[in-house]
Amino acid sequence: LTNLQQSLSDLLSQKEALRTDHVFNAVYRERAVALMAGHMLQAENSVQQGLANRLLAAMNPSGRWTSTSDTGWSLLALGQYFSDLTAPANEVAGRVTVAGEGDQSFRFEPSAYETFEIDPMRLLANPHVEIVSDADFPLSYQMELTYPRLDFAEKGYSNGFKISKTIENTANSETIHVGDVVKVTLQFEADENNRNHHIVLDDPLPAGLVAINSALATEEPVGESDADDVRSRYWSDGYYRFIPNHFEMRDTRVVAFRDEIWGGPYQYSYYARAVCAGEFRVPPTKVQLMYTPEVCAYTPETRVEIV
């Protein structure tokens, strides 16, 4: 038991290493199994609590960890840990102080929670948050910061990928008229030093365009006359063809998914119809690893005019 507690304590001091070369990328599985072992062998409460806190802190806003495997192990370990904890009968009281002023008090049952909204300007001016409570048992808290990346829209962004987008009128005219069919081409380059798993290509549509799904009987065929031959090729014009394992043509965007790609340049194209006149915002297009979202790239925001 002493050796186990020492091993668990050592694990607490280690930082998780995110990987991009593994299908499952189960970063927190080791800590989840360690928490289960510590719980089973009755390790010190402080050690178990530390492991549980690390797992809770790693959960993203959608309630998941880095992968399906990670999520399953983490939920199993946390479920066992919290199932044996007895919530005190007394209410929890305390206060939250932001930037040294403006206390916000709270009082709730131990099994409940409270949400506070923090003034972002005050926090930026003095980034200090203090939480004080009269509880004689551990309290878990989480801070979330949500903000728009305006710099992405202006300049784009690249971390592990590079991406660009073109909209070309198939009528051989630089001016796009209502009723014209345009070809949207997305080109991106993946780092050749990494194996890339579970890639998502997310392309928002300008309000004046609607994606054409030629698989529907109500849609006319568009594109090259030898489309079947073109689609069968994996390499064309200096690019690998990005052939999705799954894709979705939604009202507001086209999203394509692939399980794995090599490093190198890729190209994905689809067609859209201009349905109304005006000048429209073209939101940034994104390519991203689903389970390592910090590996991504965005195009800068542009505009398109339809007459």
Residues 194 and 222 in one domain: yes
Domain, as residue range, for 127: 92-133
> In tens digits, what is the pLDDT along the chain, a chain of 307 residues?
566 556 655 655 556 555 545 555 678 888 888 888 887 777 667 778 888 888 888 888 778 887 788 899 999 999 988 887 776 777 888 888 887 776 788 888 877 888 888 888 888 888 888 888 887 777 777 777 777 778 888 899 999 999 999 999 999 999 999 999 999 999 999 987 777 889 999 999 999 999 998 766 556 666 665 455 555 567 777 889 999 999 999 999 999 999 999 889 999 999 999 999 999 999 999 999 988 888 999 999 999 999 9
Residues 71 and 169 in one domain: no
Residues 121 and 78 in one domain: no
Residue 189's pLDDT is 95
Residues 254 and 181 in one domain: yes
Under 8 Å between Cβ of 289 and 305: no
Alpha-carbon gap, residue 227 to 71, rounded angstroms: 41
Under 8 Å between Cβ of 118 and 129: yes
Alpha-carbon gap, residue 215 to 191, rounded angstroms: 33
User: Whole-prediction pTM value?
Assistant: 0.64
Residues 158 and 302 in one domain: yes
Residues 66 and 208 in one domain: no
Residues 42 and 9 in one domain: yes
Q: Is residue 25 part of a domain?
A: yes
Q: Is residue 142 part of a domain?
A: no
Residues 278 and 171 in one domain: yes
Q: What is the CATH number of the domain that holds 289?
A: 2.60.40.690
Residues 176 and 234 in one domain: yes
Q: Is residue 48 part of a domain?
A: yes
Could you tell me which residues come within 8 angstroms of residue 77 by beta carbon, excluding any fewer than 6 positions away?
31, 32, 33, 35, 36, 39, 51, 52, 55
Instruction: Please give the tally of structural domains in the chain.
Output: 3
Q: Is residue 241 part of a domain?
A: yes
Q: Is residue 143 part of a domain?
A: no
Residues 79 and 118 in one domain: no
Could you tell me which residues come within 8 angstroms of residue 11 by beta carbon, excluding any fewer than 6 positions away?
30, 31, 34, 51
Residues 157 and 300 in one domain: yes
